[in-house]
Amino acid sequence: MTIKDNLLNYFINRWGMYEYTRGWLKGDCPYCGREDKFGVHIGQNRSHCFVCDGGERPLKVVARIEKVNIKEALKLIGTFEGLKFKESEVVEYEKKPVILPEGFVPLNLGQGQLGKSARAYIVNKRKLDPQVLASKGFGYCESGPLFGYIIMPYYIRGVLVYYQTRNFMGTGPKFNNPKIEDFGIGKSSLIYNQDSLWVYKSTHIVESIFNAETIGDNAIAIAGKSLSNIQWSTIVSSPVERITIALDPDAFYTKALPLAFSLIPHKQVKLLRLPNNQDVNSIGRTSTMQLKRRAAYLSYAELLKIKHNYEREAYYET
Ligand SMILES: [Zn+2]
């Protein structure tokens, strides 16, 4: 038994974690307590919480959970045995041409019930225009494994590179996005509406495609709450000059502020704080633009001040 074996057994048997993907164990966060948001990567000797950003090397996590020092933690995990740790191999995925899924129909076409349901979802739930989205290549599937899903394509210089999906029928999982092994690329290395960074001087960074489409042509979606390295360098190296950050408000402090700090040496930055439990799509374009007009492009000192004000606010709330 090696230390890695012991750690694996400890996190699975004592802390109730389970094996997830690419070498990650998943389970509850010992820092903030949120369920199923904490990852431990024994092979890379690290851990991370997707809610509170907490994380230390796995042995320190053990010490924290057990309220002991490192030496005692080491001794304690020695009693956890059984499973054997396997290094997860680094997989290089082969790039494959991306094609639209089986059964794809453009969003504005199809007079049957399915087409009507797809358009009703876009109009009623998302307050967006199916004709506009159809002109950007949106569609839905009337057969195949993505039956009942909206298809939202990503293009780079006009070439289809990926698509995201959204269930509009209510049965099955909400999303059914292509996996990395399908096309050799995942959404964390792509930006929705990336080409617009070369067209407009000003853009908006939002989380989801529906958020981006709520704003219009000069908005990009990062499909998450923070930028991957490749997304960050694409944005920074693009000619876009002014950026308005409008992420969902739950991640204002942990994600939107750090994002603003990372962009401010390179671009003019506005940072919006949306009302609790809302996003750009739910408050709509008009309210988002009102928030934007009231916000100013920030200096580094002003950004620091926002951070400190937020911390003071959080301090007095608790
Ligand atoms: Zn946490």
241-297 pLDDT, tens digit per residue, is 999 999 999 989 999 999 999 999 889 999 999 999 999 999 999 999 999 999 999
State the distance from the centre of ligand 1 to the C-alpha of 23, rounded, in angstroms: 19
Report residue 66: phi and psi, to 5°. Answer: -90, -5
State the distance from the centre of ligand 1 to the C-alpha of 292, rounded, in angstroms: 31
State the distance from the centre of ligand 1 to the C-alpha of 63, rounded, in angstroms: 16
Residue found under tokens 């360098």:
233
Mean pLDDT of 185-198: 92
pLDDT of residue 89: 56
Q: How far apart are CA 186 and CA 184, in angstroms?
A: 7
pLDDT at 81 over 90: no
State the distance from the centre of ligand 1 to the C-alpha of 182, rounded, in angstroms: 31
Q: How far apart are CA 158 and CA 46, in angstroms?
A: 39
pLDDT at 318 over 70: no
pLDDT of residue 52: 92
Q: Which of 64-78, 170-184, 211-225 has the lowest mean pLDDT?
A: 170-184
Burial of 257 (0-12, 13-18, 19+ CB in 10 A): buried
State the distance from the centre of ligand 1 to the C-alpha of 29, rounded, in angstroms: 5
What SS3 class is residue 300?
A: helix
| Token duo for residue 26 | 């998943």
Mean pLDDT across the chain: 92
CA dihedral 25, 30, 32, 34 (to 10 degrees): 50
State the distance from the centre of ligand 1 to the C-alpha of 39, rounded, in angstroms: 10
Mean pLDDT of 127-155: 97
Residue 268 near residue 242 (C-beta atoms within 8 A): yes
pLDDT at 73 over 70: yes
Report residue 244: phi and psi, to 5°. Answer: -105, 120
Q: How far is CA 34 from CA 5, 13, 26, 31, 50, in A?
A: 26, 19, 12, 8, 9
State the distance from the centre of ligand 1 to the C-alpha of 277, rounded, in angstroms: 19
- Determine the length of the chain: 318
Mean pLDDT of 37-50: 93
DSSP 8-class letter at 147: B
pLDDT of residue 90: 54
pLDDT of residue 229: 77
State the distance from the centre of ligand 1 to the C-alpha of 88, rounded, in angstroms: 24
Q: How far apart are CA 7 and CA 56, in angstroms?
A: 14
State the distance from the centre of ligand 1 to the C-alpha of 256, rounded, in angstroms: 17
| Token duo for residue 316 | 């007095």
pLDDT of residue 302: 96
State the distance from the centre of ligand 1 to the C-alpha of 32, rounded, in angstroms: 4
pLDDT at 164 over 70: yes
State the distance from the centre of ligand 1 to the C-alpha of 36, rounded, in angstroms: 9
State the distance from the centre of ligand 1 to the C-alpha of 312, rounded, in angstroms: 21
Q: How far apart are CA 126 and CA 123, in angstroms?
A: 6
Percent of the chain topping pLDDT 90 = 71
Structure confidence at residue 223 as a pLDDT band (50, 70, 90)? very high
Residue 210: closest CA among 154, 132, 127: 127
State the distance from the centre of ligand 1 to the C-alpha of 249, rounded, in angstroms: 17
What SS3 class is residue 23?
A: coil
State the distance from the centre of ligand 1 to the C-alpha of 53, rounded, in angstroms: 6
What SS3 class is residue 232?
A: helix
State the distance from the centre of ligand 1 to the C-alpha of 30, rounded, in angstroms: 7
State the distance from the centre of ligand 1 to the C-alpha of 108, rounded, in angstroms: 43
Mean pLDDT of 43-52: 92
Neighbours of 235 (CB within 10 A): 23
Q: Quick one: how far is CA 247 from the chain centroid? A: 10
Mean pLDDT of 213-242: 92
State the distance from the centre of ligand 1 to the C-alpha of 317, rounded, in angstroms: 19
State the distance from the centre of ligand 1 to the C-alpha of 31, rounded, in angstroms: 5
State the distance from the centre of ligand 1 to the C-alpha of 184, rounded, in angstroms: 31
Mean pLDDT of 144-168: 95
State the distance from the centre of ligand 1 to the C-alpha of 148, rounded, in angstroms: 35
pLDDT at 310 over 70: yes
The pLDDT tens digits of the residues spanning 86-123 come to 776 555 567 788 999 999 999 999 999 999 999 999 99
Residue 279 near residue 211 (C-beta atoms within 8 A): yes
pLDDT at 151 over 90: yes
pLDDT of residue 13: 85
pLDDT of residue 56: 94
Q: How far apart are CA 214 and CA 216, in angstroms?
A: 6
State the distance from the centre of ligand 1 to the C-alpha of 42, rounded, in angstroms: 18
